Amino acid sequence: MVFLCTFPVVIPFLFMHDAFLALRLSNGIATLMLFLTGYAFGRCVGYRPWLMGLAMVVAGGALVGMTIALGG
C-alpha cells in the first residue's frame, strides 16, 4: 500500500534529468493526490467534496511551502 501511494510521486525522478523540475512536478502530483483524497473523504462523510478537496490542497500547499522555505 505504501509503495502504491508513493510511486506516483517518485515517477518524475525516474524519467527526468533535471532534479529541480522533477521535484516541482512531484509536488504537483502529490497536491493532486491530496485533492482527490480530500474529495473522496468529503463524499464518504457526507460533507462537500470540493471544499474538502480544496482544504486538503491548502494544507498540502502550506506544508510544501514550508518545506521549500526550509531548503527542501
* Mean pLDDT, rounded, for 29-56: 95
Domain around 52 = 2-69
Share of the chain above pLDDT 90, in %: 74
Confidence band of 66 (pLDDT split at 50, 70, 90): very high
What number is the average pLDDT over the span 36-56? 95
pTM of the model: 0.80
Alpha carbon separation from 66 to 10, 18, 36, 59 (Å, rounded): 20, 22, 22, 11
Q: Indicate the pLDDT class of residue 59, thresholds 50, 70 and 90.
A: very high
The number of folded domains in the chain is 1
